[in-house]
Amino acid sequence: MQDQFLTDEHKMFRDAVREFIKRDVMPHHEQWEKDGLVSRDVWLKAGENGFLCMDVEEKYGGMGIDDYRFAAILMEEMAYQGAHGPGFAITNELVVPYLKAFATEEQKARWFPKLATGEAIGALAMTEPNAGSDLQAAQTTAIRDGDHYIVNGQKTFISNGIMSDIIITYVKTDPSQGAKGTSLLVLESGMEGLERGRNLEKIGLHAQDTAELYFKDVKVPVENLLGEEGKGFLYLMHNLPQERLSVAIGSVVQAESALEHTIRYCKERSAFGRPIGSFQHNRIKLAEMATELRVARVFLDNCIMLQVDQKLSAEEAAMAKWWCSEVAHKILDQCVQLHGGYGYMLEYPVAKFYLDHRVNPIYAGTNEIMKEIIGRRQLGF
């Protein structure tokens, strides 16, 4: 975020996050990329530093910070360094908001403390092999049998899927009722019948585990129902604006970092006896990218401040997710091009940014769906 929106407390927090990334994340990130997942130690260290469940009440182990700027700072600093392995945002931006909004006091006391310390890792399981943007097509069922639900089905593309301990799962509790028969059920690691599939191989985000989940007659206590039965689809709509804003934040910061690397490269790299940045075509490209990013940044910061006041609409979040990820994709492609052959080498940060970013126009709802949301709102649908 631009400094004009930050207090001295925010800036101190930003410095602490930067030190944490420098000390506890980046020295290990290359190995995590090879392993396909991070060490649980980094989650525990994040918990020790108060970077998990920041907006959760202190009585449940959180920091009690009701200011979205702190969450935005953490996401920005991680994205700026390309530290995409630790899926802290999955817990903070996806899991915690649902638990805050819909969990009972007993559930909060049971799950929040371990999420806050990093002892437990959260995940959100919505997508299925035949149900991505169309969540109403989900087929995973949770049929009540006495004081348990029996869960059967499959989820895919689940971030933190291998390491997760607390999994908010979108299920059909009454398959005959369509979207009105869906619910959110919290599954926990160790439940019999909950199986992890392979750690999926992706073109980017190599240090972040993304997995398939299989449910074979998993017995889940009724006490693990989140909110009311039959309101799962409505509950998912509740947090999608914040989730989409987090994608916009990551997109803009990735592009900002890549552009900084590219500007340095254009000053240092020579061709035909002079720095490549001295060629008019390259200067024009840099001017275009800097301007487009500045516009995106102003829009993004406005959306962040709306979220601080809890006034960010679904339409504005869709705009931010679509526009920022598209602008970032265009800029990252141009940064690679300006690096020439070196831009294709993974030892250069722009190559990793390019690959890691590619999913942003896809997840949290594809950009095509974002345009549909915006278009419908314009027409009053």
Which residues are catalytically annotated?
243
Cα 93 to chain centroid distance, Å, stands at 7
- Cα atoms in the 13 Å half-sphere on the side-chain side of 373: 22
- Token pair listed for 175: 């398959």
Q: Rounded CA gap, 216 and 150, in Å? A: 8
Query: Do 256 and 80 meet the contact criterion of CB atoms below 8 Å apart?
Result: yes
Rg (CA), the chain: 21
- Computed from CA positions of residues 158, 122, 316, 100, in that sequence, does the dihedral angle turn out positive or negative? positive
- Any residues with CB less than 8 A from the CB of 361 and at least 6 apart, and which? 322, 325, 326, 329, 367
| Per-residue b or e along 211-222, where b marks 16 or more CB atoms closer than 10 Å to that residue's CB | bbbbbeebebee
